[in-house]
Amino acid sequence: MLMDYELNMSYITLDGHVELSKCRYLYFVIVFIAYILVICCNSIIICLIVIHKNLHEPMYIFIAALLVNSVLYSTNIYPKLLIDFLSEKQIITYSACLLQFFLFYGLSSSEFLLLAAMAYDRYVSICKPLQYPTIMKKTRVSTLLVLAWSVSACHVVVTVILITETKLCNFTIKAVFCNNAIYGLHCVQSRVIAIYGVVPLINLVMLPMLFIVYTYTKILIIVYRSCKEVRKKAAETCLPHLLALISYFCLSVYDISIARVESSLPKTARFIMTLQIVLYQPLFNPLIYGLKMKEISRHLKQSLCPTKII
């Protein structure tokens, strides 16, 4: 019991920063501005969806959920990063590190499931328009949202439990926050963790990706055979989802690559890749949906530049 307590109170050094003594204030300003932009941009669109009744449709509810996910994802990473930039030592307790790891991968994988739910919504809307109101009821939308967060959380929590049962021999990770570099702390690479690690990869990444490819293939077939108006509607609603999916998939490949080629990558390259993972997507989503979704864009313009009532 005492050993478990001491283990949880162990401090982990985050050794992924580059030229921190020289650039700490520059890093702080960049990440602070990015965090403010993430909170503001995502929150504005979430508020627009909540306020305007014509946006209370499944498609926009899923977009709001995706943006909430981005805010939570960023809040898990940014505040600690900002503290570390101004601190002499970049450390974190092992228990806090595990929590950050759980939230990072839980929220990351739930994004794939949310994108899959959005693809399903577009598939029903375009391929089965007459059945859409009966299929995409509030109860089904709520169920899909709950599953998106709960399924990913259940998968990742098993990984965290397995990690806590693995002995530590190293207390320094080559990262700026607790991601999959945490495996480098273990005395021996656990075969159980390595084998189980394939399960979330298949269930939370590969299967949603295959489902999304299938649904969009069906959509493209229907759209190709349809009139110009249907093609225009499909492009307006599907293109932002595809852009979000492609960008997020690329960033996920980045994160997996960091763990696989960590030893051969220069520290600066790892640092840049990691910052792209945490900076790019939370800012990309609100820009894509705010600019490309016609109804959201219209409400956004009205809010920022209200017309004068004569």
Count of domains in the chain? 1
Residues contacting residue 132 through CB under 8 Å, at least 6 positions apart: 124, 125
Can you give the residue range of the structural domain that contains 280? 2-304
**Nearest CA among 105, 94, 41 for reference residue 68:** 41
Indicate the DSSP class of residue 130: T
**Greatest Cα pair distance in the chain:** 74
Does 310 fall in a domain? no
pTM, full prediction: 0.85
Q: Residue 17: give its domain's CATH number.
A: 1.20.1070.10
The pLDDT profile of the chain, 310 residues, written as one tens digit per residue, is 444 444 445 788 898 888 888 888 998 999 999 999 999 989 988 998 898 888 888 988 998 999 999 999 999 999 999 999 998 888 999 999 999 999 999 998 898 899 899 889 988 988 888 898 899 999 999 999 999 999 999 999 999 999 988 888 888 888 888 888 888 888 887 788 888 888 888 888 888 888 988 888 888 887 777 666 666 666 666 777 777 777 777 767 666 665 555 556 677 777 777 777 777 778 877 777 766 667 777 777 776 666 544 3
Query: For residue 279, is it within any domain?
Result: yes
Let me know if residue 243 belongs to a domain. yes
User: Considering the domain boundaries, does residue 309 fall inside one?
Assistant: no
Cβ contacts of residue 164 below 8 Å, gap of 6+?
98
CB 90 within 8 A of CB 84: yes
